[in-house]
């Protein structure tokens, strides 16, 4: 090749290089240059919201996992992250229960959503919902007139027999069917009460919003992320005591005796009392904590610690429902002569101080570049200040919860 041709080739390559726009591989796009005020503060540091395009993604969620052969994992992820867990958790019983040293398991869900900026700070929110537990002692009590063979409402029939006057009646909006006092129980199929005694009935909801920081990588490649923020917890406790008694024609209360132990012709009345209480705890306050994690191959091992302080705004309402049923005679298909219903309401409110903490340990296995399966254990303790039961003065109880979690995460 001549010198002239070689010089011409180099000139062509140089011209193309000057005309080609600059390309950055895997470049994170921020929302413009950080706005630094005259005092040197960066407002973006405390901004809990971010543009949806702040962290561009190639949408290859199921790309091969990125992990090192000798335990050194990829760089700490930035951008949006999320987790979803199913929770199987133990909840302690109220202090006034005879079996208060025991507890009951129930199911719930936990979700996390947040982002981490390239400057190693970010925000995340977390939501808990625990339905239960629902633990009761239940006793079935047959009523004085144990069966109404003409109650066709439970079988969705079009007509029924009015036992009070012996006539056929068509079910309409004006005549909806057998009166409730005459109906068979929808569960048992005959006329009986299910007398309940609550052991542990609750519902728990929690929401938190935290500011987090990622510190420099520690020895052996682990990382530490302290955080602090706001948290709201709703703890609803339900309490119930039912009693049922039969009353003779002489007005003697013989209690909840089986019908076979007394002459049924002497049982003229019956009384069912249902005493219930609902205790609403609305806990609002702050928390601080930290998350430690270490990536080793496909595994991401992590632990979290939280401590919280709450003001608990409490509301408690007690209801006494009474059904007193009168009979003219006894036996199958004998309708009640009359039913007396009454409801008595009492309510109160209070404020308490709540302190407690939460500990977690989890392990996540990286299936793809962005998605991992995870499992762990969790422990939460409200040290004092939670209202449970039917007494407003017993509003300083503790609640202990612990259990297992399993789910998946996205770039956590």
Q: Taking 70 as the threshold, does the pLDDT of residue 12 lie above it?
A: no
| Residue 196 φ/ψ, nearest 5 degrees | -110, 145
From the number of C-beta atoms within 10 Å of its C-beta (0-12, 13-18, 19+), residue 192 rates as middle
Interatomic CA distance for residues 398 and 396, integer angstroms:
7
Q: 192 versus 15: which is more confidently predicted?
A: 192
| Rounded alpha-carbon distances, angstroms, from residue 273 to 2, 24, 321, 341 | 111, 75, 6, 10
pLDDT average, residue stretch 85-113: 94
Better pLDDT: 71 or 54? 54
Q: Rounded to whole angstroms, how far apart are CA atoms 388 and 196?
A: 18
Contact 275, 320 (CB under 8 A): yes
Strands (E), 143-222: 159-162, 167-170, 192-213
Q: Chain centroid to CA 95: how far?
A: 22
> Which of residues 192 and 177 earns the better pLDDT score?
192
pLDDT of 26 above 60: no
Give the residue, 244 or 71, on which the prediction is more confident.
244
- Triad 399, 405, 410: Cα angle to 5°: 130
Q: Is residue 301 over pLDDT 70?
A: yes
- Residue 412: the pLDDT is 86
Question: What is the mean pLDDT of the segment spanning 274-283?
Answer: 96
pLDDT in tens, 111-156: 999 999 888 899 999 999 999 899 999 988 888 887 777 676 554 4
Q: What is the pLDDT of residue 59?
A: 62
Where is pLDDT greater, at 342 or 23?
342
Burial class (CB in 10 A: 0-12, 13-18, 19+), 236: middle
Please give the average per-residue pLDDT across 258-265, as a whole number: 61
Would you place residue 298 in the very low, low, confident or very high pLDDT band (cuts 50, 70, 90)?
confident
Out of 16-20, 23-27, 198-202, 281-285, least confident range = 23-27
Return the top range by mean pLDDT from 37-41, 50-54, 363-367: 363-367
Instruction: Collapse the DSSP code of 202 into the 3-class scheme (helix H, G, I; strand E, B; otherwise coil) and give the result.
Output: strand
Output the DSSP codes for 127-171: EEEEEEEEEEEEEEEE-SS---TT--TTTT-SEEEETTTTEEEE-
What is residue 398's predicted lDDT score, i.e. its pLDDT?
93
Phi, psi of 4 (to 5 degrees): -65, -45
3-state secondary structure of 370: coil
Confidence of residue 24 (pLDDT cuts 50, 70, 90): very low
Domains defined for the chain, CATH in brackets: 40-147+184-410 (2.40.160.20)
Q: Which residue has the tokens 């929401």?
A: 207
**22 vs 140, residue with greater confidence:** 140
Res 168: pLDDT: 56
The per-residue pLDDT for 68 is: 57
Of 163-177, 216-230, 242-256, give the lowest mean pLDDT range.
163-177
> Considering the chain, what is the average pLDDT of its residues?
81
For residues 102 and 199, give the distance between their C-alpha atoms in angstroms, rounded to a whole number. Answer: 10
Predicted pLDDT at 341: 87
Distance CA 300, CA 126 (A): 20
Q: Are strands 223-248 and 299-327 parallel, antiparallel or unpaired?
A: unpaired
Q: Where are the alpha helices (DSSP H) in 36-76?
A: none
Model pTM score: 0.76
Partners of 277 in the beta sheet? 239, 318
Residue 28 has pLDDT above 60, yes or no: no
Q: What share of the chain in percent tops pLDDT 90? A: 47
Query: What average pLDDT score do residues 330-342 get?
Result: 76
Instruction: State residue 31's pLDDT score.
Output: 47
The first and second tokens of residue 248, run together, are 């003779």
250 versus 352: which is more confidently predicted?
352
pLDDT of residue 66: 64
- Does the structure show a pLDDT above 70 at 77? yes
- Specify the pLDDT at position 27: 40
Q: Could you tell me the pLDDT band of residue 163, with boundaries at 50, 70 and 90?
A: very low
15 phi, psi to nearest 5 deg: -65, -40
CA 118 to chain centre: 33
3-state secondary structure (DSSP) of residue 64: coil
> What are the pLDDT digits (tens) for 374-396?
999 999 999 999 999 988 888 99
């Amino acid at each position: 090749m001549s010198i002239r041709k070689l010089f011409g080739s180099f000139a062509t390559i140089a011209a193309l290089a000057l005309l080609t726009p600059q390309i950055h591989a895997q470049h994170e796009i921020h929302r413009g240059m950080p706005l630094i005020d005259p005092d040197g503060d960066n407002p973006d540091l405390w901004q809990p919201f971010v543009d949806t395009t702040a962290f561009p993604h190639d949408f290859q969620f199921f790309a091969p996992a990125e992990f090192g052969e000798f335990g050194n994992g990829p760089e700490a992820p930035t951008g949006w992250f999320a987790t979803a867990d199913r929770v199987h958790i133990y909840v302690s019983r109220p202090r006034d229960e005879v079996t208060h040293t025991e507890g009951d398991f129930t199911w719930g869900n936990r979700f996390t959503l947040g982002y981490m900026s390239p400057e190693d700070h970010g925000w995340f929110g977390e939501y808990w919902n625990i339905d239960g537990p629902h633990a009761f002692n239940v006793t079935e009590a047959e009523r004085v007139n144990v069966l109404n063979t003409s109650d066709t409402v439970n079988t969705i029939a079009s007509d029924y027999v009015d036992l009070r006057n012996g006539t056929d009646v068509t079910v309409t909006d004006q005549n909806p069917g057998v009166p409730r006092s005459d109906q068979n129980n929808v569960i048992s199929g005959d006329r009986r009460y299910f007398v309940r005694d609550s052991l542990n009935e609750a519902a728990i909801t929690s929401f938190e919003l935290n500011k987090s920081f990622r510190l420099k990588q520690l020895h052996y490649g682990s990382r530490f992320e302290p955080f602090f923020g706001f948290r709201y917890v709703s703890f609803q406790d339900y309490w119930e005591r039912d009693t049922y008694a039969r009353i003779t024609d002489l007005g003697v209360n013989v209690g909840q005796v089986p019908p076979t132990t007394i002459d049924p012709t002497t049982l003229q009345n019956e009384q069912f009392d249902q005493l219930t209480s609902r205790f609403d705890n609305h806990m609002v306050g702050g928390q601080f904590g930290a998350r430690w994690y270490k990536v080793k191959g496909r595994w991401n091992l992590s632990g979290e610690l939280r401590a919280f302080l709450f003001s608990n705004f409490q509301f408690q309402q007690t209801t006494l429902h009474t059904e007193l049923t009168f009979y003219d005679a006894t036996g199958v298909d004998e309708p009640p002569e009359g039913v007396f219903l009454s409801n008595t309401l009492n309510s109160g409110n209070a404020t308490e101080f709540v302190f407690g903490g939460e500990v977690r340990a989890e392990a996540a296995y990286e299936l793809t570049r962005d998605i991992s399966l995870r499992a762990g254990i969790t422990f939460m303790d409200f040290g004092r200040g939670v209202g449970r039961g039917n007494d407003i003065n017993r509003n300083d109880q503790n609640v202990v919860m612990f259990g297992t979690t399993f789910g998946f995460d996205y770039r956590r």
